[in-house]
Amino acid sequence: MPEYVAPLKDMQFVLKHVVGLDLVNTLPGWEDVTEDVVDAILEEAGKLASEVLSPLNSTGDKTGAKWKDGVVTTPPGFKEAYHQYCNAGWNNILSPTDFGGQGLPHLIATPVEEMWGAANLAFKLCPMLTQGAIEAISHVGPDSLRERFLPAMVSGKWTGTMNLTEPQAGSDLSLVRTKATPQDDGTYRIKGQKIFITYGEHDYTENIVHLVLARIDGAPEGVKGISLFAVPKFNVKPDGTLGSRNDVKCASIEHKLGIHASPTAVMIFGENDGAAGYLVGEANRGLEYMFIMMNAARLSVGLEGVAIAERAYQRALSWSRERMQGKPIGVAGAKTAPIIQHPDVKRMLLTMKSTIEAMRALAYWTSAQLDRARMAADDTERKRSQALVDFLIPIVKGWSTENGIDVASLGIQVHGGMGFIEETGAAQHLRDARITTIYEGTTGIQAMDLVGRKIGREEGRTALALLAEIDNFTPKLAASGDANVKAIGESLTAAVKSARETVQWIARNFSTNAPAVAAGSVYVLKLLGITLGGWMLARSANTAAAQLGRAEGDAAFLKAKILTAHFYADHILPQTASLASAATRGPESVLAVEDAQF
Amino acid sequence: MPEYVAPLKDMQFVLKHVVGLDLVNTLPGWEDVTEDVVDAILEEAGKLASEVLSPLNSTGDKTGAKWKDGVVTTPPGFKEAYHQYCNAGWNNILSPTDFGGQGLPHLIATPVEEMWGAANLAFKLCPMLTQGAIEAISHVGPDSLRERFLPAMVSGKWTGTMNLTEPQAGSDLSLVRTKATPQDDGTYRIKGQKIFITYGEHDYTENIVHLVLARIDGAPEGVKGISLFAVPKFNVKPDGTLGSRNDVKCASIEHKLGIHASPTAVMIFGENDGAAGYLVGEANRGLEYMFIMMNAARLSVGLEGVAIAERAYQRALSWSRERMQGKPIGVAGAKTAPIIQHPDVKRMLLTMKSTIEAMRALAYWTSAQLDRARMAADDTERKRSQALVDFLIPIVKGWSTENGIDVASLGIQVHGGMGFIEETGAAQHLRDARITTIYEGTTGIQAMDLVGRKIGREEGRTALALLAEIDNFTPKLAASGDANVKAIGESLTAAVKSARETVQWIARNFSTNAPAVAAGSVYVLKLLGITLGGWMLARSANTAAAQLGRAEGDAAFLKAKILTAHFYADHILPQTASLASAATRGPESVLAVEDAQF
């Protein structure tokens, strides 16, 4: 039995019956995204995930990427797995068809990406970063760069990176200092140091295309003076073959808590005469371009939360069925039982399972909105979906990754003492998960984006419209013949009330008391994540009950779906009340404390 | 500046003004535990913690304990630190004066122990386990064993261990299989394998006294057939000098997520002709003896949660004052600021600070009750304190360690990307903390003990009496002239209401529906922890306000104390409502799910 098996049943149920494939296969170009096609894609991806990537997860953690004299060696098997992955075409499913990609919708790429993250998070980061670099170059060009770099990046022959962070510039990119000096031939010479560069150096491919934020000489201070450059590891001749080594080197890689197989590089650009760089898009618009890509990247990282949680859950579940310990409470005369029979262990497993299913459905629904925002025929519809995407991304990113950590930690707890032993494997998931609330914007950054740009500035319009949509839905739950579904409806209604009051509070206070809104922002993010996740599970339960009523589908799966949603409604949704209280009544007691009083 | 500085001000405030030294220095034998004496002890301990133990914490993590051919080598400096610690008398402050100990009250040993845990958790475990072994031998004897082992253990010349776990027997000790065969001379031959033995082998001392749970040939099955044995590494001659090596060996040590410097041993007893063992107390009462010691051990582990949280907080606070990033929100024209000025960072730091202070005060108050349960002159008073101790220990153990993990994780979050880099040091705290919710009984085990033996079986008598005591106190808060204190009173009153209703629900349901009570037990544990912690902070704030009114004490400290308590009241106490809901309305949706439905 593989350590990770893609949860195909749940993925398929969410795609077909909760999100609905019609959200994307009614859009131009995606008419052939049918149920059969989706099933075939997921099944194939699931095989690669279980059979090729997952078995490398633990060895990659133990061996880690190694640095010597500027050269990075990835753990045994990773390079071969990368080529197998690219040869099967998985790296280009989202890429533009113009350059050899498959141009599939995000909705389909999303469950596939979840599988890579669950099977081997450290591996998955390389294609994910490459995808971001491809998007940046293909969106803002110019054509000369597209032609020079994209074919090899889309085929997987070369990889890409994102070089944002510098020692003094992390969450605050206005502090970027890397310099770009224009040359007579229209290129630039790049000089500076970048840190935390995922796959900044590796041995998978012959070349790496770094996308680098830098300031052109004389550019304005702050975020408005940052431009985006493509800086290849090896210069590329006009015919596409490799030329001389560029003035870029990997000075070291970090010793990290987790994702050991993924090299996190310190990159030195222009230690000698400057690294040759090519401007991507217009000067001084680099940050804006980065943020265009950021939506997809943040959704990807949110999915990592779902993915690691799923893997941690599978391991804990398997252990809980094997490990015999203690008598099941309330069963007279019983002897030792598998620990899954103990109510508290069952509660932990249900917490894991229900949270994963809620996060998964919300992430998939969000990715469908991303597709619609790009491809819907109607302009109003595109704008509506874009507003939803903008609102949902920080929630999916922040909430799913925070949950990912909690679920991975619960996975250790289910194992008891064995969970603390590295050989068991449960601990790696917590170590790996721990970065996800930090990279691509911390939870605090997501929360500020949410309460500021996504709620405050528009007085909660998108949020309130979405909550109103849920209110239109809850009467269906109340009218259900299934007692579980009815109960779910009650909890969801209460959660939506808390969510609405909190959004309204933000709308009232954002312009007059932004610090107070900021102080409670992470609570708001969690409150909305829990509520929207609850909505997704309520839709799941309602659909499942309807299918059962029509004697359709897999009855065992559908019944479990309803019970899982009911658990979530009883155990997770009630947290919204205390989160609302902390978000709206709590800020003053944060702001009252002076720095010196700590 | 040392990485860890003992929080003397808060410790002293809690001891003198929240718990009150009079709880112990009115007891016979402890009359000289005065404020001055306490200050002197804490200050000296603080120096050793900061200057000797703390600097070894990170190197101990990196090097780890090493095993080779049955010999364990601890990281450089640990052995010397151990001798410095013993030479200064810190190892014996709790030990009986009959055998060279100082016999100090737990109330004073507790802050001292918190310091060791914060300075170097991996180090601290050795004296802690030795202390447990000393208690077992001194409580249940016989004299021959006391005289043979205790003087060297109390002086620190030898250490002690607790050997409970076997591969098939973790939380469920009824499954212990290690055998003890009686010999003609009254000793036993012990054969079996024990795992997860903390400091089961090391190089600090010339001898180790293992306390081992085993079954005497022909003993009853289950927990009623388990006896306790002392099994020294080297046999001890009648004159106290070391004889031949006993048939005990360390087969390996574990590769763990954290506490790397603490060797976690697999111990093989009696591989050849059986290890010589000495019965401690009466046959078949081993588990009962273990549980006598367990109270103190569980309090100790609860303190580890406080300790690691404190260290993680100090590190995060220091970073948040140095790291410049982002403009403080709502401050027009401001430039880059230390991140502590960002409301969300401040919220994280306050979450850490307020939780630590609540946990600390509750742990110290519990340790005072432990002293009173042993030494109060009046029998009723002893019984009352013992009932409180029994009720509080699982809360302090479970709640403080769960919080310890969360606070350590927040400590990483405050560091952003740097938190994920091992050299920063923040990650070690999370790795170290992760065992504390597992060893000495998982949170689930604590929670079952709480809702079963400590609430259900006595229909909530102790819990309800304590909640009534809080209700008698809250009117003082309502009458306060300080608006913060008033507000704290309102939150606390609401929390107590949730707590009482939940306890009453348990009292009604325990005998008829134990599985339902079990399913929500961890929520109950957290709910009571949060409420009692809130009570402690409310007492702190009330006392601080009174002192300020009398112009006594350190005004800056006292004001911060009130604001910290107010933060807790607004942000943490409201969680009690959702916990009460999940505990009482949630169990059915746990029990409804069959094992096959996962």
Nearest chain B alpha carbon to A573: B578
Residue of B254, B324, B597 with shortest CB distance to A421 = B254
Tens digits of residue pLDDT in A196-247: 999 999 999 999 999 999 999 999 999 999 999 999 999 999 888 999 999 9
The alpha-carbon gap from B26 to the nearest alpha carbon of chain A, in Å, equals: 34
What's the angle, vertex CA A414, arms to CA A412 and CA A416, rounded to 5? Answer: 75
Say what the pTM is. 0.98
Q: Chain B, 187-216: which have a CB under 8 Å from a chain A CB?
A: 195-196
Residues facing residue B215 across a β-bridge:
B179
User: Does some domain include residue A451?
Assistant: yes
CB-based contact A361:A19 (threshold 8 Å): yes
Residue A541 has pLDDT above 80, yes or no: yes
The alpha-carbon gap from B237 to the nearest alpha carbon of chain A, in Å, equals: 36
Interchain proximity B434–A435, CB inside 8 Å? no
Phi, psi at A12, each rounded to 5°: -65, -40
Q: List chain B residues with CB under 8 Å of A519.
A: 343-344, 346-347
User: Does some domain include residue B561?
Assistant: yes
Is residue A447 within 8 angstroms of chain B, CB to CB? yes
Residue A1 has pLDDT above 90, yes or no: no
The pLDDT of residue A371 is: 97
User: Does some domain include residue A181?
Assistant: no
The candidate with the shortest Cα–Cα distance to A343, out of B130, B583, B81, is B583
Q: What is the mean pLDDT of residues A148-161?
A: 96
Residue A594 has pLDDT above 90, yes or no: yes
Number of domains in chain A: 1
Q: Which residue out of A254, A440, A459, A594 is catalytically annotated?
A: A440
Interchain proximity B585–A570, CB inside 8 Å? yes
Tokens of A10: 């749940």
Lookup result for tokens 């703390």: B54
Cα–Cα distance, B242 to B463 (Å, whole number) = 50
Is residue B570 within 8 angstroms of chain A, CB to CB? yes
3-state secondary structure of B551: coil
User: Does some domain include residue B478?
Assistant: yes
Nearest chain A alpha carbon to B484: A589
Interchain proximity A567–B559, CB inside 8 Å? no
User: Does some domain include residue A563?
Assistant: yes
The pLDDT of residue A434 is: 98
Nearest chain A alpha carbon to B354: A598
Interchain proximity B340–A196, CB inside 8 Å? no
Burial class (CB in 10 A: 0-12, 13-18, 19+), B454: buried
Residue of A353, A413, A521 with shortest CB distance to B344 = A521
The pLDDT of residue B141 is: 84
How many C-beta atoms lie closer than 10 Å to residue B428's C-beta? 26
The pLDDT of residue B275 is: 98
Q: What is the mean pLDDT of residues A490-510?
A: 98
Interchain proximity A347–B590, CB inside 8 Å? yes
Residue of A255, A338, A578 with shortest CB distance to B421 = A255
- The continuous run of DSSP H or E covering B555 comes out as helix B555-571
Cα–Cα distance, A18 to A536 (Å, whole number) = 7
Interchain proximity B560–A330, CB inside 8 Å? no
Residue of A195, A423, A590 with shortest CB distance to B343 = A590
Phi, psi at B282, each rounded to 5°: -90, 155
Residue A282 has pLDDT above 90, yes or no: yes
CA A431, A432, A438, A439 torsion-angle sign: positive
Nearest chain B alpha carbon to A196: B417
The pLDDT of residue B490 is: 97
Q: What is the mean pLDDT of residues A316-333?
A: 89
Domain region containing B564: 443-592
Most B-contacting residue of A581, A585, A588, A591 (CB-CB within 10 A), to test interface: A581
Cα–Cα distance, A172 to A259 (Å, whole number) = 24
Look up B147 and say whether it is catalytic: no
Q: Chain A, 294-333: which have a CB under 8 Å from a chain B CB?
A: 317, 321, 324-326, 329-330
Query: Which of the four pLDDT bands, split at 50, 70 and 90, describes residue A107?
Result: very high
The pLDDT of residue B205 is: 98
Q: Which of A290-324 are b and which e, b meaning 16 or more Cβ less than 10 Å from the residue's Cβ?
A: bebbbbbbbbbbbbbbbbbbbbbbbbbbebbbebe
Phi, psi at A256, each rounded to 5°: -110, 165
Tokens of A93: 């499913």
Q: DSSP alpha helices (H): ranges in B49-193?
A: 55-63, 78-87, 106-119, 121-140, 143-155
The pLDDT of residue A331 is: 73
User: Does some domain include residue A510?
Assistant: yes
Interchain proximity B172–A326, CB inside 8 Å? yes
Residue A394 has pLDDT above 90, yes or no: yes
Q: Packing angle between helix A106-119 and helix A121-140, nearest 10 degrees?
A: 150
Residue of A346, A438, A574 with shortest CB distance to B578 = A574
Residue of A165, A345, A516 with shortest CB distance to B444 = A345
The pLDDT of residue A294 is: 84
User: Does some domain include residue A551?
Assistant: yes
DSSP characters for A324-366? Answer: B-SPPTT-TT----BGGGSHHHHHHHHHHHHHHHHHHHHHHHH
Is residue B170 within 8 angstroms of chain A, CB to CB? yes
Q: List chain A residues with CB under 8 Å of B321.
A: 595
Interchain proximity B345–A444, CB inside 8 Å? yes
The alpha-carbon gap from B258 to the nearest alpha carbon of chain A, in Å, equals: 8
CB-based contact A26:A20 (threshold 8 Å): no
Interchain proximity A353–B598, CB inside 8 Å? yes
Residues facing residue A190 across a β-bridge:
A180, A275
Interchain proximity B346–A593, CB inside 8 Å? yes
Residue of B405, B514, B588 with shortest CB distance to A329 = B514
User: Does some domain include residue B117?
Assistant: no
Tokens of B17: 């003004």
Instruction: Give me the tens of pLDDT residue by residue for chain B, a chain 598 residues long.
Output: 789 999 999 999 999 999 999 999 999 999 999 999 999 999 999 999 999 999 999 999 999 999 999 999 999 999 999 999 999 999 999 998 989 999 999 999 999 999 999 999 999 999 999 999 999 999 998 999 999 999 999 999 999 999 999 999 999 999 999 999 999 999 999 999 999 999 999 999 999 999 999 999 999 999 999 999 999 999 999 888 999 999 999 999 999 999 999 999 999 999 999 999 999 999 999 999 998 788 889 999 999 999 999 999 999 999 999 999 998 887 777 789 999 999 999 999 999 999 999 999 999 999 999 999 999 999 999 999 999 999 999 999 999 999 999 999 999 999 999 999 999 999 999 999 999 999 999 999 999 999 999 999 999 999 999 999 999 999 999 999 999 999 999 999 999 999 999 999 999 999 999 999 999 999 999 999 999 999 999 999 999 999 999 999 999 999 999 999 999 999 999 999 999 999 999 999 999 999 999 9
The alpha-carbon gap from B265 to the nearest alpha carbon of chain A, in Å, equals: 12
DSSP state of A169: B
Alpha carbon of residue A76 to chain centroid: 26
Q: Which residue out of B440, B490, B501, B552 is catalytically annotated?
A: B440
The alpha-carbon gap from B432 to the nearest alpha carbon of chain A, in Å, equals: 10
Cα–Cα distance, B39 to B45 (Å, whole number) = 10
Q: Chain A, 515-534: which have a CB under 8 Å from a chain B CB?
A: 515-516, 518-522
pLDDT above 70 coverage of chain A, percent? 100
Most A-contacting residue of B260, B432, B593, B594 (CB-CB within 10 A), to test interface: B593
Mean per-residue pLDDT of chain A? 96
